[in-house]
Amino acid sequence: MSAASQYVQLSSGYQMPLVGIGTFQVTGKNRIHDVIDEALNVGYHSIDTAAVYRNEEDIGYALSSGLLHKYGLERENIFLTTKLAPSDHGDPRQIRNAVETSLRALGSNYIDLYLIHWPGAARIPENSVDNIKLRSITWQTLVDLKSQGFLRSIGVSNYTVKHLEHLLQDCHGVKPAVNQIECHPHYRQEQLRDFCNKEGIHVQAYSSLGTSNENSLLKDSIVCNIAKEINVSPAQLLLKWALQQGIGIIPKATQKQHIRDNIKLDFDINDDQMKRLSVLPQKKYAWNPDNVV
């Protein structure tokens, strides 16, 4: 089955493509246009952004200025994910304004998936218990906005098991549909993934290729050797490692060949190769939410 045609059924009842195009640090109207143009051309139907990426308006412009028509698509054929900034976390009025701002920027009357970007509020120390209360307020507000039709699915990002346990104690009848987390062979997050699977929360990975200046994940000898065995790139191997386990992926790319390669995942990693990838030393590359109460 083509990676472009794989979907996951979310707890909200909506389907989400397992592979999306990430847009972190992709800015500029022309650059965004070119990335989305090529992504739609090769089969991506999911776009991941966030308020803090400052590119929602350019994404909305690209979609509304002819790209959807170019590929015979309608708005409902595209799955748009965006996220609440930590600076808007915990204040119902600011949350509603943030959602309205994202809707206007994206040129849509609904958002397919809206995530709380970070478990802590920007103005609150990480070790403050106020973060628990603010997360609850934020979630209740998102549940209300979902019930009004502005948000089709709601979820979280960078939530640990403890953050999810707090949320599920008082989730107002709506569990998170997705938890978007750093996940790759160097940071497998098995306990968190098991918890999410048990609770029906889909795990979507970011930083699938690692995010270090040394690119140590892409250069890992075991990763490179297995990639050679299968005759794929290390990047494709790392993306397939997640996809083969049902983990969603949103790789960022700006070069046409990378955009194409990142969805060309029609191969299998055998059991022995998966075992070798699943015993690599653990190293976190991105932000660490563990200290947020």
Q: In this predicted model, what pLDDT tens digit does every residue of 68-126 receive, in sequence order?
A: 999 999 999 999 999 999 999 999 999 999 999 999 999 999 999 999 999 999 989 99
Mean pLDDT value of segment 43-65: 97
Domains of the chain: 3-285 (3.20.20.100)
Q: Is the dihedral of CA 212, 214, 215, 216 positive or negative?
A: negative
235 within 8 A of 211, measured Cβ to Cβ: no
Q: What whole-number distance in Å separates Cα of residue 42 and Cα of residue 23?
A: 16
Instruction: Count other C-beta atoms under 10 Å from residue 140's C-beta.
Output: 16
Going by pLDDT thresholds of 50, 70 and 90, the confidence category of residue 213 is: low
Q: What percent of the chain has pLDDT over 90?
A: 94
The annotation status of 117 as a binding-site residue, yes or no, is yes
Summary mean pLDDT of the chain? 96
What pLDDT shows up at residue 29?
97
Residue with tokens 């990047």: 235
Mention every residue, 6+ apart, whose C-beta is less than 8 A from residue 281.
Answer: 186
Residue 210 has a pLDDT of: 87
The per-residue pLDDT for 215 is 60
- 53 an active-site residue? yes
Whether 32 has a pLDDT exceeding 80, the answer reads yes
pLDDT at position 140 over 70: yes
CA torsion angle for 282, 283, 285, 288 (degrees, to 10)?
80
| pLDDT at 214 (0 to 100) | 63
For range 183-209, the mean pLDDT: 97
* Contact residues for 208 (Cβ-Cβ < 8 A; gap 6+): 183, 184, 238, 239, 242, 249, 251
For residue 194, what are the contacts with CB-CB under 8 A and spacing of at least 6?
none
Q: 53, 114, 187, 206: which is the annotated catalytic residue?
A: 53
For residues 251 and 187, give the distance between their C-alpha atoms in angstroms, rounded to a whole number: 16
- Band of residue 59 on the pLDDT scale cut at 50, 70, 90: very high
**Helices 234-243 and 221-230: angle between axes, nearest 10 degrees:** 90
